[in-house]
């Protein structure tokens, strides 16, 4: 993958999921600046305090402020409106999928319990969103 340092925000209430996600990111995108928030409120605080990740990996189901509310807030703000947001969730409900896309998700991926499969999924996500996709920041 590319060697350019990228900022990635991982938002998840499960410490094990955060650990596995960060481990996969580090494996496939060494040198990344990875921040994590353990709930939606913490994610919004980070973003409101000027953190501008190139990619947000966002859990859907969290206590308190959930992923849909976080996504809605991200899409309301001019400075964060176009940051790619990938929902990483264990939910396979069609209503959750539709709600995520309605709220402005760029992608919706199901978390798998298989570590190797999950790391390959993260590799594909990083490759697409950080290598292949042209962001609006590149249009300036």
The gap between the terminal CA atoms of the chain, to the nearest Å, is 24
Instruction: State residue 12's pLDDT score.
Output: 95
> Is 52 within a domain?
yes
Q: Which domain holds residue 16?
A: 7-132
Cβ–Cβ < 8 Å for 135, 82? yes
Tell me if residue 11 falls in helix, strand or coil.
strand
Query: What is the layout of strands, in order, in the sheet containing 7-11?
Result: 33-37, 7-11, 55-59, 85-89, 107-110
d(CA 100, CA 60): 8
> Is 138 within a domain?
no
What is the domain-level CATH number for residue 76? 3.40.50.2300
pLDDT bin (cut points 50, 70, 90) of residue 137 is low
Token digits of residue 75: 């899409």
pTM, two decimal places: 0.91
Q: How many distinct structural domains can be found in the chain? A: 1
> Is 91 within a domain?
yes
Task: Write out pLDDT tens, residues 26-71.
Answer: 988 888 899 999 999 999 999 999 888 999 999 999 988 999 999 9
Q: Give me the residues paired with residue 11 across strands.
A: 37, 58
């Amino acid at each position: 993958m590319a060697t350019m340092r990228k900022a990635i925000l991982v938002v998840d209430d499960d410490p094990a999921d955060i650990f596995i996600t960060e481990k996969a990111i580090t494996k496939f995108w060494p040198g990344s600046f990875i921040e994590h928030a353990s709930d939606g409120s913490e994610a919004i605080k980070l973003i409101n305090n000027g953190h501008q990740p190139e990619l947000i990996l966002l859990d859907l189901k969290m206590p308190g402020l959930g992923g849909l509310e976080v996504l809605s807030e991200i899409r309301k703000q001019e400075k964060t409106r176009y940051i790619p947001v990938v929902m990483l969730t264990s939910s396979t409900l069609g209503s959750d999928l539709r709600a995520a896309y309605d709220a402005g998700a760029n992608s919706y991926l199901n978390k798998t319990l298989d570590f190797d499969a999950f790391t390959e999924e993260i590799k594909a996500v990083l490759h697409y969103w950080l290598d292949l996709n042209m962001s609006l920041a590149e249009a300036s």
